Amino acid sequence: GDSVTQMEGPVTLSEEAFLTINCTYTATGYPSLFWYVQYPGEGLQLLLKATKADDKGSNKGFEATYRKETTSFHLEKGSVQVSDSAVYFCALGDATNAGKSTFGDGTTLTVKP
Amino acid sequence: KAGVTQTPRYLIKTRGQQVTLSCSPISGHRSVSWYQQTPGQGLQFLFEYFSETQRNKGNFPGRFSGRQFSNSRSEMNVSTLELGDSALYLCASRKGQGDVNTEAFFGQGTRLTVV
């Protein structure tokens, strides 16, 4: 079945550092890929998405490129802020069942001033 | 516009009891999915409803059930609660079904603690 593997956390960075959170997936067909963010006490919010190979999703300084050849969707940000501290989830959309998404285990990011 | 609303936010129940959680999707959204989030298992898909019909189901025992009403509001029920059912239950709504590119909008979740 479909699966998503994220780099293990927690990740602790200093403000303005470069961020990479790795995500690889296994799926049949051509799923859409998503990054969601969860702030403490909140539900998940969509951060960015990509729907086909070589698409780049971007939002709030975060970027991720859909790499079909390496089945990856790594999240990057050039300069993190304290306010980026949260849990980040990589997810893929089921190509045949849109209501079902498969999530990675989440990576906790803490940014220190 | 109003987001996805889940009630209650927090719940404490005793083993063996049953519980009902509620989710009101974004107005106009007809697809509602439920997920269980635990530290050990992460986010796991429970089921999805569209137009009052269950379309997909995850690998959970029959103690977990749900339904959707004509106004798209959804409830999930867990019977004979076990300690391992303690989790954050998240509801997500989508506008339609069949479009894998549409994002899911999540509620804040219901934190269920079974004692």
Task: Decide: B20 and B96 in contact? Cβ < 8 Å.
Answer: no
One-letter amino acid of B59:
N
**Cis status, amide bond into B25, omega within 30 of 0:** no
Which of B5, B43, B48, B53 is the best mutation test for A, with the most CBs of A within 10 A?
B43
**pLDDT (tens digit, 9 = 90+) per residue, B43-92?**
899 999 998 999 888 999 999 999 999 999 999 999 999 999 999 999 99
Task: Decide: A110 and A85 in contact? Cβ < 8 Å.
Answer: yes
With contacts defined as CB-CB under 8 Å, which chain A residues touch B50?
99
Q: By the CB < 8 Å criterion, does A101 face chain B?
A: yes
Task: Decide: A37 and A61 in contact? Cβ < 8 Å.
Answer: no
pLDDT at A98 over 60: no
One-letter amino acid of A94:
D
**pLDDT (tens digit, 9 = 90+) per residue, A25-80?**
998 878 889 999 999 888 899 999 998 899 999 999 999 999 999 999 999 999 99
Q: By the CB < 8 Å criterion, does A31 face chain B?
A: yes
Query: φ and ψ at B5, to 5 degrees?
Result: -115, 125
